Structure 1
Amino acid sequence: MHKIIVLLVLFALLTGCAATETIERLESRAGQGNSQALGQDSQAAPAGFGDLHVSLTVKTRMPNSVLIDTTDYGTNRYQLLVGAGDQFQRVTGDMTMETGGYRTSTDPEAGNGVRYRFAATLRLPVGTHRVTAALPGDGVVLEQLVEIKQGSNRLELKPVYRLKSKHRRIGFPDTRTYYKGVKKITVVE
């Protein structure tokens, strides 16, 4: 029994370290590589290239909403890292304050908080690319193989929030809340 517990603790530590290591690698490569990060007023993609539009909407709690707040929630320092190949960029989202709803609702985004709308466009050669998106503030990384076609391509991401309570109760569904942070990022099909 003791060996199983040691193995589980070791596995948890290593998976957490792997995500942190990936985020550090992405941050060190930001602004390097051969693909292009484009603005809103860019020209159409030339022959042999495609534009990949990546979008993500996330809600976080307001800044200083807890007594000891060590996160960047509710500030412009809460950012998205997105890229493909060797090209990565740090994206600052459009922030809007949201009020309303009651926090004990089963809606994971109910309550007062800050909504971020992240959008980035990458110009990549036509073909298959490994696209990586990360939220360093939550230690979350998603790597996805994407087929880039000539013209415009979309990759829409969505967050999966952490559980409201650490303890499961028999007969009650697991409820999630933005207040606890993002557990992982998934692709909208």
Structure 2
Amino acid sequence: MKKVMTLCAITLCIPIFAGCATSLCKQAATSSRSDVFIEVSDSTPVAAGESELSMSASLKTHREFDCPINPEHSHGTPDYRLLINIDGQALPITGEFKEENLTGSSIGDPESGIGIRYTFRKRLRLSAGQHRLIVSLPDDGIAVTRDIQLDAKSVNSLGIEPVYNLRSGARRSAALPAACFNEGIKSIRLNLNGREI
């Protein structure tokens, strides 16, 4: 009876958590402000009362034609995006992408194999202080939110790393890595100035 109750509780919680991620993805895509940050490309010194945030992400997805089940996705295409939202100002970021074959990489590498490598980079200038940050991969239904503190006249780096799904049981073995980019991205890990947040 206890197992049945636990199973029922888990079954009821899954749609709630899925709904939270969907809601956060929608929130990340919605701009309610336009005065939070500006994009910068030069190395102008940071003014008093401001801070700089350099964001970078590198992740791998399957090629476009490797997943015929879901033709609506944009994996493996130029339309695949990273979405950033800071204090209500949204910024869709288009990444550079190229086909990558890491067949000779180490055995435990979750990115080994043929796929599409995306690299996203953006530099922003914003006021110093506390900010609410949402990072989303809308095509994967993933979004995470964090509060970040940026000091005045500081130059900060935000590293965005994928956490890949585990291989399905039938394909898992000691010779293959437990996680694999072909299984999709299950979460995002954020590092601000080298520390996980």
TM-score, length of structure 2 as denominator length: 0.84
Report the Cα distance in structure 2 between the residues aligned to 1:100 and 1:173, rounded to whole angstroms: 13
Does structure 1 residue 175 correspond to structure 2 residue 163? no
Residues 167 and 8 (structure 1), Cα distance of their counterparts in 2 relative to 1, 3 Å cut: farther
Alignment of 1:82-101 (within 5 A): 82-101=84-103
| Percentage of pairs with the same residue | 28
Question: In the alignment, is the contact (CA less than 8 A) between 1:54 and 1:156 conserved in 2?
Answer: yes
Instruction: Give 2:154's aligned residue.
Output: 151
AA of the residue aligned to 1:54? M
Q: CA deviation at 1:63?
A: 0.7
Question: In the alignment, is the contact (CA less than 8 A) between 2:132 and 2:147 conserved in 1?
Answer: yes
Instruction: Give 2:22's aligned residue.
Output: 20
Does structure 1 residue 37 correspond to structure 2 residue 38? yes
Q: Secondary structure at the match of 1:122?
A: strand
Instruction: Give 2:5's aligned residue.
Output: 3
Residues 95 and 65 (structure 1), Cα distance of their counterparts in 2 relative to 1, 3 Å cut: same
RMSD: 2.7
Question: In the alignment, is the contact (CA less than 8 A) between 1:96 and 1:115 conserved in 2?
Answer: yes
For residues 128-170 of structure 1, give each alpha carbon's deviation from its aligned partner in whole angstroms, at most 9, with x where no partner exists: 2222211111111122222212131111121110001147989
Residues 3 and 155 (structure 1), Cα distance of their counterparts in 2 relative to 1, 3 Å cut: same
Report the Cα distance in structure 2 between the residues aligned to 1:171 and 1:110, rounded to whole angstroms: 15
Report the Cα distance in structure 1 between the residues aligned to 2:179 and 2:39, rounded to whole angstroms: 34
Report the Cα distance in structure 2 between the residues aligned to 1:33 and 1:107, rounded to whole angstroms: 40
AA of the residue aligned to 1:50? S
Q: Which runs of 5+ in 1 are unaligned?
A: none
AA of the residue aligned to 1:94? E
Q: Which runs of 5+ in 2 are unaligned?
A: none
Instruction: Give 1:61's aligned residue.
Output: 62
TM-score, length of structure 1 as denominator length: 0.87
Report the Cα distance in structure 2 between the residues aligned to 1:109 and 1:93, rounded to whole angstroms: 18
Question: In the alignment, is the contact (CA less than 8 A) between 1:19 and 1:141 conserved in 2?
Answer: yes
Question: In the alignment, is the contact (CA less than 8 A) between 1:45 and 1:51 conserved in 2?
Answer: yes
Report the Cα distance in structure 2 between the residues aligned to 1:111 and 1:174, rounded to whole angstroms: 11
Residues 54 and 96 (structure 1), Cα distance of their counterparts in 2 relative to 1, 3 Å cut: same
Q: Secondary structure at the match of 1:34?
A: coil
Q: CA deviation at 1:95?
A: 0.6
Q: Secondary structure at the match of 2:157?
A: strand
Q: CA deviation at 1:92?
A: 0.6
Q: CA deviation at 1:42?
A: 6.6
Q: CA deviation at 1:172?
A: 9.0
Q: CA deviation at 1:10?
A: 1.3
Q: Secondary structure at the match of 2:30?
A: helix
Instruction: Give 2:47's aligned residue.
Output: 46
